[in-house]
Structure 1
């Protein structure tokens, strides 16, 4: 039996091979010349690498064995890395001191296709939350080993990283502070508001539309609104600038992210508490529980998966929105993105964009695992396991 998604991925992968796989440029700024995958090395290694890639894509077509689809995706990704290393050495040979090689559209399309094939195979295997955590750990470990091995050191993006290593880790720290810190503050504010909305539906009818209105404001406009407001606070209130409150920088970006985060937190908290079965509420009342006891022992535990789903939305959203903070001096990976745009340096843009995407994917998977662990069925299985 054939897998329809696997067949689609096979066709898309074959089409991606017709696009340039790598580019060679005279320096980091000018546009490079594209080279197809079979032009990157001698015929023998190229044919072997392409054969492994084609075999990996073909294994994805077999619908009855999802494990083979996972193995095929892993083989295909390994072949992609092999082609990169072959191409880097071949293209840079005699190209000049300032020459740069970079992955091109064909490579990125194949990465997406094989990642989707891997996700499809894992979905059909239906691993439990702890197995998913283990798989994520293996993937991150392999990625870390690859990046630190030096195999990709000739690529332009790795050279950008090497020349900006301290700035990169500073941007990573600032990006995490923006996204995780705004999530924490939004939770501190939003969870009590969500409980209040659950208790008083009239408050919910007033508050949620107001928070929805904040979501309609474009992110650039929101950051722009924060600049004059916090600039006035910093100039007017003694000591405000000493703690970092100013028109540009970390503070306006952080507050804007908190405002964007409130709607999912408040709405999902109210919805999660409201999802408690009436029978469970009546039983709690019959046992003489107070409101606080019902909230702590019945409603919050049963509504926790929905509440965590709201926090997941906020975390992934804030990791992406934090990039725009680079426009107002907020730091984070957005600084690399906008520097690259100003310099027309694609690899500098990727140095900011790719870690952002990776952070969002990892955060989303971790939050999904946490949501799964809080599901009543999952908790029951975990507690009854020997």
Structure 2
């Protein structure tokens, strides 16, 4: 199936050439982005990568094929973007076409499929993740893809990009940290007190059902009132729009996964282990710290994973209320009908979410007690 889809993707526009950053471009097939002696090796490598995906019993071969195909895509992007811009005009832009995205998605699925069969251990997955990030950084640092329109958008907004990145990280990780400080003790208390649990979890569940844009809207008048009526609040940065309302909304969204998974993690301790701890004379707090928390840590980390990936995505909406982050570029691009400006905000968000999810999955597996892992 992957091989057939990949062959069909070869006939879709690989790159688009436009007169400027706003107008729609003309789709260019992959074999026409450069001279035949340039595109030929790339096409052969892509075809070979699809052929290598056919043997179902050879996942290592499939993984090698996927890596080969991705290298070929980068090669074709480098050569094609430079060739198409020659003589195309000062404001001409080369953007990624649907054919590239289809092929890239297929190759990523091939790699994921191969890794699922190989089932590497957490340390091996960590090495693969670090290697992938290092390769991506090397490609970006080399400037090999600077002729693409998305990198031209970045070049004209470099300072704003790093400011947006800092704000996005602050929204996602800062709200997670505050939610953890509040949610873990609240989860412990809810685990110990059934009445408190029956009150806290339904309230947090209700807050979780409020749409993100509506939650941001609710924060605006509340914080605007606080900023105008509480002495010194405005000087501290409390206002109806900006970073703070988005931050508080993300904290509220983060509480349910943290509290619920803390309760579930503490309840995951086997009764036999708890009975043995009592038999050893451990106090309630000793049982919590030495038995329940270590055994429930994987479940609690799974809650952190949910919150982190959720907040990275929701932080994009903060751009609508002046909260900053990568959402600023997304909404600017939508207003200007500039696709590559949208991608400048969307692609880092997706990459950050994927890296965070994989990293947290590795930590969850490492936290599993008494498990044998493949290295």
State the match for 2:41 in structure 1.
Answer: 48
**For the Cα contact (< 8 Å) 2:121–2:373, is it kept in 1?**
no
User: How far is the alpha carbon of 1:377 from its aligned partner?
Assistant: 2.7
Contact preservation (8 Å) 2:27, 2:97: yes
CA displacement at 1:59 relative to structure 2: 0.7
Match of 1:85 in 2: 78
> How far apart are the structure 1 equivalents of 2:178 and 2:3?
45
Q: Show the counterpart of 1:58.
A: 51
Runs of 4+ off more than 2 Å: none
Equivalent position to 1:150, from 122, 143, 149: 143
How far off its partner does 1:201 sit?
A: 2.2
| Alpha-carbon spacing, 1:102–1:381, altered in 2? closer, same or farther (3 Å) | closer
User: Match for residue 72 of structure 1?
Assistant: 65
**SS of the counterpart of 1:377?**
coil
Structure 2 unmatched ranges of 5 or more:
none
Partner of 1:366: 359
Whole-Å separation in 2 of the counterparts to 1:312 and 1:9 = 30
CA distance in 1, matches of 2:71, 2:262: 43
Distance between the aligned counterparts of 2:47 and 2:194, measured in 1? Answer: 58
Counterpart pick for 2:15 among 18, 22, 41: 22
CA offset digits 1:83-127 (Å, max 9, x no partner)? 111211221111101000011111111111111111111222221
1:174 aligns with 2:174: no
Report the alpha carbon displacement of residue 381 of structure 1 after superposing the two structures with TM: 6.5
Distance in 2, matches of 1:244 and 1:136, equals: 38
Deviations 1:318-374 (A, max 9, x none): 000000000000000001111111111110000000000000000001101110110
Query: Secondary structure, in 3 states, of the residue corresponding to 1:24?
Result: strand
1:199 to 183, 192, 198: 192
The CA distance in 2 between the partners of 1:250 and 1:23, in whole Å, is 37
Q: Which residue of 2 aligns with 1:354?
A: 347
Distance in 1 of aligned mates of 2:115 and 2:222? 48
What SS class does the counterpart of residue 95 from structure 2 fall into? strand
Counterparts of 2:103 and 2:231, CA distance in 1: 56
Equivalent of 1:164, from 157, 175, 184?
Answer: 157
Query: 2: distance between equivalents of 1:269 and 1:318?
Result: 18
SS of 1:243's equivalent?
Answer: coil
Q: Determine the structure 1 residue equivalent to 2:261.
A: 268
Pairing partner for 1:337 from 316, 321, 330: 330
Residue 131, structure 1, aligned to residue 124, structure 2: yes
Q: Deviations over 1:171-228 (max 9, x none)?
A: 1111000000000000111111111121122322221111111111111000000000
User: Is 2:111 the counterpart of 1:118?
Assistant: yes
Distance (Å, rounded) in 2 between the aligned partners of 1:180 and 1:381:
29
Partners of 1:108 and 1:74 in 2: CA distance: 16
Q: Decide which of 238, 248, 254 is 2:247's aligned counterpart.
A: 254
Alpha-carbon distance between aligned partners in 1 of 2:342 and 2:44, rounded to the nearest angstrom: 32
> With structure 2 as the length reference, what TM-score do the two structures score?
0.98
**Which residue is 1:377 aligned to?**
370
Distance in 2, matches of 1:13 and 1:214, equals: 43
Q: TM-score with structure 1 length normalisation?
A: 0.95
Deviation of residue 264 (structure 1)? 0.5
Q: Offset of 1:65 from its aligned partner?
A: 1.7
Inter-partner Cα distance in structure 2 for 1:366 and 1:228: 37
